[in-house]
Amino acid sequence: MIDLAATNDPSLLALLAAHPRVAEVCQGSAPLEFRTGGWHRRIAVGDATIEQHGLVELMDNNPIVCADAMSVPSPAATLALIALGPLAAAGLILEPPAFQTNAPGGEAAIGDFLASAGWPGGVVLDHQEADLANVYAATAIAAIRTPEELDDIDDLYEERFGRSFFVRRDEQSDWHVNLVRHRPNAVYHLRVTPDEPACLLTVQVMADAKGKCGAAQMVHAMNVMCGFEESLGIPDLIV
Protein backbone atom coordinates (compact mmCIF):
# COMPACT_ATOMS: atom_id res chain seq x y z
CA MET A 1 0.00 0.00 0.00
CA ILE A 2 1.22 3.53 -0.80
CA ASP A 3 0.66 5.77 2.22
CA LEU A 4 0.97 9.10 0.43
CA ALA A 5 1.46 10.22 -3.18
CA ALA A 6 2.08 13.78 -4.35
CA THR A 7 2.24 15.35 -7.81
CA ASN A 8 2.12 18.68 -9.62
CA ASP A 9 0.12 17.18 -12.52
CA PRO A 10 -3.69 17.60 -12.18
CA SER A 11 -4.42 14.64 -14.48
CA LEU A 12 -2.09 12.42 -12.48
CA LEU A 13 -3.60 13.66 -9.21
CA ALA A 14 -7.03 12.49 -10.39
CA LEU A 15 -5.70 9.02 -11.26
CA LEU A 16 -3.87 8.72 -7.95
CA ALA A 17 -6.98 9.76 -6.01
CA ALA A 18 -8.90 6.86 -7.57
CA HIS A 19 -6.05 4.33 -7.32
CA PRO A 20 -7.06 1.42 -5.04
CA ARG A 21 -3.59 1.09 -3.51
CA VAL A 22 -2.97 4.78 -2.72
CA ALA A 23 -4.23 5.80 0.71
CA GLU A 24 -3.79 9.58 0.43
CA VAL A 25 -2.86 12.10 -2.27
CA CYS A 26 -1.81 15.73 -2.19
CA GLN A 27 -0.49 18.49 -4.40
CA GLY A 28 3.28 18.36 -4.77
CA SER A 29 6.12 20.17 -6.49
CA ALA A 30 7.46 17.22 -8.52
CA PRO A 31 6.04 14.97 -11.25
CA LEU A 32 5.44 12.16 -8.73
CA GLU A 33 6.68 11.34 -5.25
CA PHE A 34 5.24 8.66 -3.03
CA ARG A 35 5.87 7.06 0.35
CA THR A 36 5.43 3.53 1.58
CA GLY A 37 6.21 3.41 5.26
CA GLY A 38 9.56 5.14 5.57
CA TRP A 39 10.54 4.55 1.94
CA HIS A 40 10.38 7.76 -0.07
CA ARG A 41 10.42 7.17 -3.84
CA ARG A 42 9.96 9.32 -6.91
CA ILE A 43 9.33 9.22 -10.64
CA ALA A 44 10.74 11.93 -12.88
CA VAL A 45 10.08 12.78 -16.53
CA GLY A 46 12.85 12.98 -19.12
CA ASP A 47 15.76 12.69 -16.65
CA ALA A 48 18.39 10.38 -18.10
CA THR A 49 20.74 11.07 -15.16
CA ILE A 50 18.60 8.73 -13.03
CA GLU A 51 20.04 5.23 -13.33
CA GLN A 52 16.69 3.60 -14.01
CA HIS A 53 15.33 5.54 -16.97
CA GLY A 54 13.48 4.49 -20.08
CA LEU A 55 10.25 3.05 -21.41
CA VAL A 56 8.92 0.45 -18.99
CA GLU A 57 8.14 -1.99 -21.82
CA LEU A 58 11.82 -2.01 -22.82
CA MET A 59 13.26 -2.28 -19.30
CA ASP A 60 13.99 -5.07 -16.85
CA ASN A 61 11.37 -4.80 -14.11
CA ASN A 62 13.54 -6.17 -11.29
CA PRO A 63 15.84 -3.11 -10.92
CA ILE A 64 12.80 -0.83 -11.13
CA VAL A 65 11.14 -2.63 -8.21
CA CYS A 66 14.24 -2.02 -6.09
CA ALA A 67 14.89 1.58 -7.16
CA ASP A 68 14.40 4.73 -5.09
CA ALA A 69 13.81 6.66 -8.31
CA MET A 70 13.18 6.17 -11.99
CA SER A 71 12.44 8.41 -14.95
CA VAL A 72 9.96 7.85 -17.72
CA PRO A 73 10.76 9.52 -21.06
CA SER A 74 9.51 12.91 -22.23
CA PRO A 75 6.56 12.72 -24.65
CA ALA A 76 8.87 12.90 -27.70
CA ALA A 77 11.25 10.32 -26.28
CA THR A 78 8.31 8.05 -25.41
CA LEU A 79 7.20 8.03 -29.04
CA ALA A 80 10.79 7.57 -30.21
CA LEU A 81 11.32 4.56 -27.95
CA ILE A 82 8.12 2.94 -29.15
CA ALA A 83 9.06 3.56 -32.77
CA LEU A 84 12.77 2.70 -32.57
CA GLY A 85 13.42 0.86 -29.32
CA PRO A 86 13.01 -2.68 -30.69
CA LEU A 87 15.39 -1.85 -33.57
CA ALA A 88 17.88 -0.31 -31.15
CA ALA A 89 17.85 -3.37 -28.92
CA ALA A 90 18.45 -5.63 -31.92
CA GLY A 91 21.34 -3.53 -33.24
CA LEU A 92 19.68 -3.00 -36.63
CA ILE A 93 19.86 0.80 -36.92
CA LEU A 94 22.59 1.93 -39.33
CA GLU A 95 22.45 5.75 -39.03
CA PRO A 96 20.53 8.40 -37.09
CA PRO A 97 16.85 7.98 -38.00
CA ALA A 98 14.71 10.90 -39.15
CA PHE A 99 12.13 11.66 -36.48
CA GLN A 100 9.24 14.07 -36.98
CA THR A 101 6.86 14.86 -34.14
CA ASN A 102 4.67 17.49 -32.50
CA ALA A 103 5.55 16.17 -29.04
CA PRO A 104 7.73 18.20 -26.64
CA GLY A 105 11.24 16.98 -25.89
CA GLY A 106 14.54 17.95 -27.47
CA GLU A 107 16.87 16.01 -29.75
CA ALA A 108 19.49 15.49 -27.03
CA ALA A 109 16.94 14.11 -24.58
CA ILE A 110 15.57 11.73 -27.19
CA GLY A 111 19.10 10.56 -27.88
CA ASP A 112 19.80 9.95 -24.19
CA PHE A 113 16.77 7.71 -23.84
CA LEU A 114 17.41 5.86 -27.10
CA ALA A 115 20.91 5.14 -25.80
CA SER A 116 19.31 3.33 -22.85
CA ALA A 117 17.62 1.04 -25.39
CA GLY A 118 20.84 0.33 -27.29
CA TRP A 119 21.19 3.05 -29.95
CA PRO A 120 23.72 5.78 -29.02
CA GLY A 121 23.53 7.68 -32.33
CA GLY A 122 20.47 9.81 -31.65
CA VAL A 123 17.97 11.04 -34.23
CA VAL A 124 17.59 13.88 -36.70
CA LEU A 125 14.65 15.71 -35.15
CA ASP A 126 12.07 17.68 -37.11
CA HIS A 127 9.68 19.25 -34.63
CA GLN A 128 6.41 20.24 -36.28
CA GLU A 129 3.78 22.20 -34.38
CA ALA A 130 0.40 20.53 -34.89
CA ASP A 131 -2.80 20.80 -32.90
CA LEU A 132 -4.10 17.25 -32.70
CA ALA A 133 -6.50 17.79 -29.79
CA ASN A 134 -4.15 16.66 -27.01
CA VAL A 135 -2.62 13.84 -29.07
CA TYR A 136 1.08 13.55 -29.85
CA ALA A 137 2.14 11.84 -33.07
CA ALA A 138 5.46 10.93 -34.63
CA THR A 139 6.92 9.39 -37.76
CA ALA A 140 10.32 7.72 -37.63
CA ILE A 141 12.21 6.64 -40.75
CA ALA A 142 15.17 4.39 -40.08
CA ALA A 143 17.72 2.78 -42.36
CA ILE A 144 18.25 -0.68 -40.95
CA ARG A 145 20.30 -3.73 -41.74
CA THR A 146 18.05 -5.99 -43.79
CA PRO A 147 17.23 -9.10 -41.74
CA GLU A 148 17.24 -12.57 -43.23
CA GLU A 149 13.45 -12.49 -43.28
CA LEU A 150 11.38 -9.30 -43.30
CA ASP A 151 8.99 -10.99 -40.89
CA ASP A 152 11.83 -10.80 -38.35
CA ILE A 153 11.04 -7.09 -38.01
CA ASP A 154 7.47 -7.88 -37.02
CA ASP A 155 8.80 -10.41 -34.53
CA LEU A 156 11.04 -7.78 -32.88
CA TYR A 157 8.08 -5.52 -32.16
CA GLU A 158 5.86 -8.41 -31.12
CA GLU A 159 8.51 -9.58 -28.65
CA ARG A 160 8.70 -6.14 -27.02
CA PHE A 161 5.11 -4.97 -27.20
CA GLY A 162 2.93 -7.98 -27.98
CA ARG A 163 1.90 -8.48 -24.34
CA SER A 164 1.95 -4.80 -23.39
CA PHE A 165 -1.10 -3.17 -21.86
CA PHE A 166 -0.18 0.23 -23.22
CA VAL A 167 1.63 -0.15 -26.56
CA ARG A 168 -0.49 -1.69 -29.31
CA ARG A 169 0.06 -2.29 -32.98
CA ASP A 170 -2.75 -1.36 -35.35
CA GLU A 171 -2.41 -2.08 -39.06
CA GLN A 172 -6.11 -2.32 -39.84
CA SER A 173 -7.75 0.90 -38.65
CA ASP A 174 -7.77 4.26 -40.37
CA TRP A 175 -4.82 6.18 -38.89
CA HIS A 176 -6.69 8.78 -36.84
CA VAL A 177 -6.17 10.47 -33.48
CA ASN A 178 -9.36 8.86 -32.18
CA LEU A 179 -7.40 5.61 -31.86
CA VAL A 180 -5.67 7.08 -28.80
CA ARG A 181 -7.57 10.20 -27.74
CA HIS A 182 -8.40 9.96 -24.00
CA ARG A 183 -6.92 6.46 -23.92
CA PRO A 184 -3.96 5.20 -21.84
CA ASN A 185 -2.29 3.29 -24.67
CA ALA A 186 -0.17 4.29 -27.64
CA VAL A 187 -0.65 2.77 -31.09
CA TYR A 188 1.90 2.22 -33.84
CA HIS A 189 2.19 0.73 -37.28
CA LEU A 190 5.08 -0.29 -39.53
CA ARG A 191 5.93 0.06 -43.22
CA VAL A 192 8.99 -1.59 -44.75
CA THR A 193 10.66 -0.58 -48.02
CA PRO A 194 12.78 -3.65 -48.75
CA ASP A 195 16.26 -3.44 -50.24
CA GLU A 196 19.70 -4.98 -49.80
CA PRO A 197 21.88 -4.69 -47.77
CA ALA A 198 19.74 -2.05 -46.03
CA CYS A 199 16.04 -1.30 -46.05
CA LEU A 200 13.91 1.59 -44.82
CA LEU A 201 11.45 1.13 -41.98
CA THR A 202 8.81 3.78 -41.39
CA VAL A 203 7.08 3.68 -38.01
CA GLN A 204 4.13 5.89 -37.11
CA VAL A 205 3.06 6.19 -33.49
CA MET A 206 0.48 8.20 -31.54
CA ALA A 207 -0.44 8.66 -27.89
CA ASP A 208 -2.61 10.95 -25.80
CA ALA A 209 -0.79 13.64 -23.82
CA LYS A 210 -2.50 12.36 -20.66
CA GLY A 211 -2.17 8.70 -21.65
CA LYS A 212 1.02 6.94 -22.67
CA CYS A 213 2.71 10.36 -23.00
CA GLY A 214 1.55 11.54 -19.59
CA ALA A 215 -0.29 10.57 -16.42
CA ALA A 216 -1.13 7.01 -17.43
CA GLN A 217 2.55 6.26 -18.09
CA MET A 218 3.44 7.62 -14.65
CA VAL A 219 0.91 5.38 -12.91
CA HIS A 220 2.13 2.42 -14.96
CA ALA A 221 5.70 3.10 -13.81
CA MET A 222 4.57 3.49 -10.19
CA ASN A 223 2.71 0.18 -10.36
CA VAL A 224 5.84 -1.59 -11.61
CA MET A 225 8.00 0.03 -8.92
CA CYS A 226 5.56 -1.18 -6.24
CA GLY A 227 5.01 -4.65 -7.67
CA PHE A 228 1.33 -3.98 -8.38
CA GLU A 229 -0.58 -5.24 -11.40
CA GLU A 230 0.67 -3.05 -14.27
CA SER A 231 -2.77 -1.76 -15.28
CA LEU A 232 -4.03 -1.16 -11.73
CA GLY A 233 -5.78 2.18 -11.36
CA ILE A 234 -5.51 3.07 -15.04
CA PRO A 235 -8.96 3.39 -16.61
CA ASP A 236 -9.71 2.71 -20.25
CA LEU A 237 -10.51 6.41 -20.71
CA ILE A 238 -8.34 9.23 -19.35
CA VAL A 239 -10.24 12.51 -18.98
Q: What is the mean pLDDT of residues 179-204?
A: 96
**Above 90 in pLDDT, residue 131?**
no
- pLDDT mean over 180-184: 98
pLDDT tens-place string over residues 13-28: 999 999 999 999 999 9
| Best CA proximity match to 185, nearest among 159, 163, 211 | 211
What is the percentage of the chain residues whose pLDDT exceeds 70? 100
Is the distance from CB of 96 to CB of 122 less than 8 angstroms?
yes
Q: Rounded to an integer, what distance in angstroms lies between the CA atom of residue 200 and that of residue 215? A: 33
150: pLDDT strictly greater than 90: no
pLDDT at 149: 87
- Cβ contacts of 133 within 8 Å, gap of 6 or more: 177, 181
Query: Would you state the pLDDT for residue 189?
Result: 96
pLDDT of 148 above 90:
no
3-class SS of residue 28: coil
Residue from 237, 218, 225 nearest 16 by CA = 218
Is the backbone peptide bond immediately before 197 cis, with ω within 30 degrees of 0? yes
Give the containing element (helix H, strand E) for 154. Answer: helix 151-161
Mean pLDDT value of segment 41-67: 97
Report pLDDT for 15: 97
The pLDDT confidence band at residue 239, using thresholds 50, 70 and 90, is confident
pLDDT at 82: 98
Average pLDDT over residues 65-81: 98
Q: Higher-confidence residue: 188 or 149?
A: 188
Mean pLDDT of the chain: 96
**In the predicted model, is pLDDT for residue 88 greater than 90?**
yes
| pLDDT tens digits, 48-59 | 999 999 999 999
**What's the average model confidence in pLDDT over 219-229?**
97
What confidence score (pLDDT) does residue 130 get? Answer: 87
- Mean per-residue pLDDT for 158-182? 96
- pTM to 2 decimal places: 0.96
